Each structure stands twice: as C-alpha cells, then as structure tokens.
Amino acid sequence: MKNILITGGAGFIGSNLTRSFLKNSDTVTVIDNLLTGSKKNLEPFLKNNLFTFINVDLIKTEWMTKLTGQTFDYIFHLASPASPKQYFTHQKETLLVNSLGTYNILNFFKESSSGSFLYTSTSEVYGDPLEHPQKETYWGNVNPNGERSCYDEAKRFGEAMCMTFFRKDNLNIHIARLFNTYGPNMEMDDGRVVSNFITQALQNKDITVYNKGEQTRSFCYVDDMIVGLSLLSQSQSAGEVVNLGNSIEQKIINVAHIIKKIVGSSSQITAIPYPSDVPGDDPQRRRPDIAKAKKLFNFAPSTPFEEGIQKTVEYFKSRFDL
Ligand code: UDP
C-alpha cells in the first residue's frame, strides 16, 4: 500500500488518477482549491477512509502545516487550470500555481523526504511547433508574451524549477509533457474540443469547428494517460522529461464528424472564427513522439479513439442534463 499526494486531484486527470490509486487500496491525499476542479469529481471518494481532501491554494504555504510529519511515496503535481478557456480566464492564477505553487510543493517534497515527484507539464511548451512530430529534445516555438503565454511560459518555468531542484538537491523528480487527453470527468464547459463537440452533438446544436478545422491534435484516452503517469513516477528516470499521449494525429474537422456519428446527432458542423474566450496562437499541428516513454517504461496507449469517445459520451449523458 502506497501513500500518494495529488495536487489538482479534483480536476479531470487528477480525479481519474485518484480513483486508480484508491482502487489499488493506496492512501490518497488531494490538494485542490476548486478553481477549475470540481467537488463533484471527488464525491465518490469522500466516504473512503483512504481518502483525504484538503481545500487550499498551493501558492499560500499554510497547507504545509496540515501535512507536517507526513511522508509520501509519490507526489503528483497537477494543480493548474489546463484548458485554453480556463487558463485564459485565470491567467494570473495559472502563472502563480505553476511557479510559486511548484516551488512550494517541491520544497515540501524535499523537506518531507518523500519518495518520488512528478510534474505535469504540457505539449504547449512546444508552442506552434516547427518540428513534427514533437520529440522531447525540441525546444519549441512559443510566443513569450502572447495570449497563451500565461500557460506555456508558466509550464516552461515549472519545468525549469523542477530541473533546478533535481540538479541542486539530487531529488527523484520526473516531468511528463501531457498531450491532449479526454474522457470521463471532463467539464462540460471547459471549452476543450472533445467536451464542446460532445455537448453540442448531444443537444443537436451546431458543432463549432474553429477556423477551418484543418489544425490537428492527437488524443489520448484518460485511462491510458493514467497508466503513463503511474509508470513514469515509478521509473528509474529521475531528471527525464517524457512526452505522454497518443500518437495518432487527426484533423479537428474529422473529430467533429466522428463525434457526430457516434452520438447519432443531427447537428450541423460549422466552421466559425475563433471566439473571444479562446487565446490566440492556436498550434496548427500537434503529435507526440512517444518513443522515449515506450523505451523507458513500455508506454503504449491502447484505447481506440471511437471507443474512448463512446465511453466519454456515456459519461456526459449520465452526469449532465443534456
Ligand atoms: N477547437 C474547435 N472547436 C471547439 C473547441 C476547440 O475547433 O469548440 C479546436 C481548437 O481551436 C484547437 C483544437 O480544437 O485547434 C483543440 O483545442 P482544445 O481547446 O481542446 O485544446 P488545445 O489543444 O488547444 O490545448
């Protein structure tokens, strides 16, 4: 039985990670300020004796006193707004949780003599990439002060902070760069493409493809991502940066057609300009090179897109009034 700490555990990926550890009879403590995470995602765990929820903001240090004397086998640091709509809405919070928040949790990791630390960085560190697919060795093409910079640069800073603690303090730190992920516990209004399209399709409303939908993404089902995060945290690869995601690349327009078909919707698929709540500099192509994750811990996402979408549609039907 392991003792796990998850920051951002009320969010989409964090709550799925929490569930997988609790299923394994591990003890899980979640830190979340519910800025973009949802208490609803934690409801299934609240009566579980192995689960503790601490509702605090990582950028303030008071939470550390609540954990005094505790040591964790694994710390997963996910806390941050993560969808473009969310981080564009909460720009300062995004900058602060990835910088000051990361500093605070790394200090806790060091002082508590905990075992392993994993920081969730993002494919956004590659910006609008000029290299394709993206390998971990690529430094990216990022606008340092554009509308996405509150997220891109915050995550890049977070990586720099993790690597500094790794080099200076010789700690067991891992960095995962997460590519687009989807599945149960996504929010209906997080603005992500999969949640938007499923919601629109279920309501028979227009499916809103931004620009012409020629831009591409590669979508990983959340269960596959959870396996990748667990394997990376247990691997003997401290100080390594590793892409996690599915390497099958798709045009957004095709995603619209697939979701419409699976839902059996009568929605129209319409191309519209980028709305004002979406940050600029939309990356035009994105596909992870996952050879490093495969080599280090045999990472191989296996859920077909149609199957993952089907499960996500079922989830949306059960959770939201659509
Ligand atoms: N997108 C879209 N319609 C939507 C939401 C998103 O066409 O209703 C596009 C968006 O412009 C981007 C892609 O889908 O090119 C993925 O967007 P998302 O917000 O899911 O995540 P990102 O990969 O940009 O972080």
Q: Which CATH number goes with the domain that contains 265?
A: 3.90.25.10
Do 259 and 229 have their domain in common? Answer: no
pLDDT on residue 239: 98
123-171 pLDDT, tens digit each: 999 999 999 999 999 999 999 999 999 999 999 999 999 999 999 999 9
Do 200 and 67 have their domain in common? Answer: no
CA of 216 to the centre of ligand 1 (A): 9
Do 167 and 78 have their domain in common? Answer: yes
Q: Within a domain: residue 157?
A: yes
Report the amino acid identity of residue 199.
Answer: T
Q: Is the CB of 217 under 6 A from ligand 1?
A: yes
DSSP H or E stretch at residue 134: none
CA distance 204 to 170: 54
pLDDT on residue 62: 87
CA of 192 to the centre of ligand 1 (A): 6
Do 179 and 270 have their domain in common? Answer: no
- Atom number, ligand 1, closest to the C-alpha of residue 283: 15
Do 229 and 210 have their domain in common? Answer: no
Do 159 and 204 have their domain in common? Answer: no
Do 315 and 226 have their domain in common? Answer: no
Mutate which of 193, 197, 217, 282 to test ligand 1's pocket (most atoms within 8 Å of Cβ)?
193
Nearest to 310 by CA among 164, 192, 194, 179: 194
Do 73 and 94 have their domain in common? Answer: yes
DSSP H or E stretch at residue 150: helix 149-169
CA of 301 to the centre of ligand 1 (A): 21
Q: What would the two tokens of residue 226 be?
A: 């959870």
State the residue range of the domain holding 154.
3-183+221-247+286-302
Mutate which of 192, 203, 250, 285 to test ligand 1's pocket (most atoms within 8 Å of Cβ)?
192
Do 128 and 275 have their domain in common? Answer: no
Q: Is the CB of 192 under 6 A from ligand 1?
A: yes
Q: Where are the beta strands (DSSP E) in the chain?
A: 3-7, 27-31, 51-54, 74-77, 116-122, 173-178, 181-182, 207-210, 216-218, 220-221, 241-244, 249-251, 269-272
Do 270 and 130 have their domain in common? Answer: no
Q: Determine which one of 87, 151, 182, 221 is catalytic.
A: 151
Do 313 and 170 have their domain in common? Answer: no
CA of 194 to the centre of ligand 1 (A): 8
DSSP code for 10: T
Do 143 and 268 have their domain in common? Answer: no
CA distance 121 to 274: 25
Sites in the chain below the pLDDT cut of 70? none
pTM, to two decimals: 0.98
What's the structural domain count of the chain? 2
Residue 87 catalytic?
A: no
Bridge partners, residue 244, by sequence? 178
pLDDT on residue 64: 87
Q: Is the CB of 259 under 6 A from ligand 1?
A: no
Q: Break the chain down into helix, strand, coil percent, rounded to 5.
A: 40, 20, 40
Q: What CATH number is associated with residue 139?
A: 3.40.50.720
Q: Is the CB of 282 under 6 A from ligand 1?
A: yes
Q: Is the CB of 3 under 6 A from ligand 1?
A: no
161-218 pLDDT, tens digit each: 999 999 999 999 999 999 999 999 999 999 999 999 999 999 999 999 999 999 999 9
Q: Whose CA is nearest to atom 4 of ligand 1?
A: 193
Q: Is the CB of 216 under 6 A from ligand 1?
A: no
Q: Within a domain: residue 8?
A: yes
Nearest to 309 by CA among 254, 269, 239: 254
